[in-house]
Amino acid sequence: MTESRPTRIALFGGSFDPPHMGHVMAALWAFCQVPLDAVWVLPVDRHPYADKSMTASWQQRWRLVEAAFAPLPFVELRDDERRNPTGTTFDLVSSLRAAHPHHHWFLITGSDTHADLENWYRGSELRQMVTPIAVPRGGCHGDGPALPAISSSHVRSRLAAGHDCADLLPYPVGDMIASEGWYRAAP
């Protein structure tokens, strides 16, 4: 009789407003660096910081995230954040642990936010509930190799200015944004 190990799930949440190549590379990097069974991508419904709002609606971001991560068979797009009234990672992880008690949980963060994890809402407790995976981000990781420093705010600014973002967005995401007219500056 073989003993099975817990399912190893990495949680990758964010506003994904819009999802860009850095997001896709981060999920791929985490999956290649840590023995995982899946990466659950969870677009936030509301940001826990009251002063941060999303440009695109949750439904628009869901469609974009679906397009961005479709080529990665280990990614599962999840809407659990829609049932997370506080928007905090601690409450989300608490809920997921209760629903899936036999999973081993990981949390994908950028190397910039990883250093600040203790300052998150109930950060010390959160660290006991998940194994963090710090993805090295350009400009935030020191001297070693890192993923390119791409931010959604930079992509939004370029799109609003009418600039091409083909080098920053997965092709289906760029095509959807262009065809739907999302992220354009108001006339």
Q: Is the model's pLDDT at 139 over the cut of 70? A: no
pLDDT at 36: 96
Q: What is the mean pLDDT of residues 176-186?
A: 89
Q: Is the model's pLDDT at 1 over the cut of 50? A: no
pLDDT at 4: 63
Nearest to 10 by CA among 139, 119, 111, 96: 96
Q: Which residue has the higher pLDDT, 135 or 169?
A: 169
Instruction: Provide the sign of the torsion angle of the four alpha carbons 35, 144, 127, 81, taken in this order.
Output: negative
pLDDT at 2: 45
CA–CA dist 117, 99 (Å, integer): 24
pLDDT in tens, 79-130: 999 998 888 999 999 999 999 999 999 999 887 777 777 877 877 888 899 9
pLDDT at 126: 85
Q: Is the model's pLDDT at 6 over the cut of 90? A: no
**Residue 9: pLDDT band by 50, 70, 90 thresholds?**
very high
Q: Is the model's pLDDT at 51 over the cut of 80? A: no
Q: Mutual orientation of helices 171-180 and 58-69 as an angle, nearest 10°?
A: 150
* Whether this model's pTM surpasses 0.95: no
pLDDT at 185: 76
Q: What is the mean pLDDT of residues 125-136?
A: 90
In the three-class reduction of DSSP (H, G, I as helix; E, B as strand; rest coil), residue 135 is classed as strand
Domains of the chain: 8-180 (3.40.50.620)
Token pair 């997370």 in the structure block, residue: 84
**Residue 27: pLDDT band by 50, 70, 90 thresholds?**
very high
Q: Is the model's pLDDT at 133 over the cut of 90? A: yes
